[in-house]
Amino acid sequence: MPLSVTTPWALGGLPLATRAVLAPMAGYTDLPFRRLVRSFGGVGLAFSEMVNPDSILRGRSRKVSALVATAPDDRPLGWQIYGTKPGLLAEAAQWFEARGAELIDVNMGCPQKKICSRGAGAALMKTPELAVEIARRVVESVKIPVTVKIRLGWNAPDAAAELARGLEAAGAAALTVHGRTRAQRFSGAVDLDGIRQVVEAVRVPVIANGDVFTLAAAREMLERTGAAAIMIGRHTLSEPWFLRDVARDLAGEPPLAAPCFAERLAMMRRLYADHIQLYGERFGVSLFRRWIPRFAKGMGVPRPMMIAFLQAATPAEWEARMAEVERGAGV
């Protein structure tokens, strides 16, 4: 039977405060964004972007240093790694553990072509023996919990339950299941019954993932799947406070108002400042552009002003664009 969503829970001995989990998203869940999401509260666990073991073991660059950056307020945190070489993945897990990691996650669900073409990510669902061996080697290499993220299958939802049993036997402390096949990528409806089959196949906690954009969808996912927790990704890019809302709703607490214009402006400034601190001025301004359309939409910024914002190339130009937004809103 699934645990009550209002009771404390843990993954392999790591205590977690809520059942709301921030998904690993390549290109987005870096330290600045994780800190922004955590600032609202309600985050039981967050994950890093997926990390290529070679990048941290064979050569370090400023980009890699930023990828593995964390902070005292960025806890609890799971580091997600991917690949097809059990020994290399085990070595990467040890690298993270030696630097204070609390949890390692192995990605076996990424549908990206460049990842799957190498046999990694969701392609590991086609080679279940290798997938289980990877999990076993990583588990044996560290003392911290190891989790695995999978999909329901490659072309059809027919592989997840059996693979889940193998991963559990290999020592995985928990599993995350995205309720689609690799062929579906992010299209079509999430198969909640498919996730439930995995929940019923194993004894370790299962985290359900996929297409949660409303509080009602979050409740339905947990009720129908019997999962221990819910992982949310894409919707947090538009509403970084959404995990707070989910955690409150599951606890039976009333909703809080969405941030007003001034609060969103403060969010934008905080995220920008963290980008500059982590990436430096030149790269930080450039990388922050990915967030401008999302903030502009939520703040009602006119399209011409947003386009001008996207063209800012220096901190001075960025501040000038921010001043225009403030004047336009009468702030």
Residue 150 burial (CB count, 10 A): 26
pLDDT digits (tens, 9 = 90+) for 265-306: 999 999 999 999 999 999 999 999 999 999 999 999 999 999
pLDDT at position 17, please? 94
Please identify, among 250, 285, 313, the residue that sits at the C-terminal boundary of a domain. Answer: 250
Residues sharing a CB contact under 8 Å with residue 184, sequence separation 6 or more, in sequence order: none
pLDDT digits (tens, 9 = 90+) for 192-237: 999 999 999 999 999 999 999 999 999 999 999 999 999 999 999 9
Please say whether the dihedral angle defined by the alpha carbons of residues 257, 262, 265 and 270, taken in this order, is positive or negative. Answer: negative
Residues 179, 279: one domain?
A: no
Element (H, E) at 282: helix 281-288
The whole-angstrom distance between residue 303's C-alpha and the CA centroid of its chain comes to 29
Cβ(217)–Cβ(211) under 8 Å? yes
Residue 255 lies in a domain: no
Residue 3 lies in a domain: no
Residues 236, 277: one domain?
A: no
**pTM, 2 dp:** 0.95
Q: What angle do CA 105, 47, 169 make, to 5 degrees?
A: 20
Identify the band that residue 9 occupies on the pLDDT scale cut at 50, 70 and 90: confident
Residue 119 lies in a domain: yes
Known catalytic residues are 110
Q: Cα separation of 147 and 104, whole Å? A: 6
Cβ(55)–Cβ(41) under 8 Å? no
Burial class (CB in 10 A: 0-12, 13-18, 19+), 149: buried
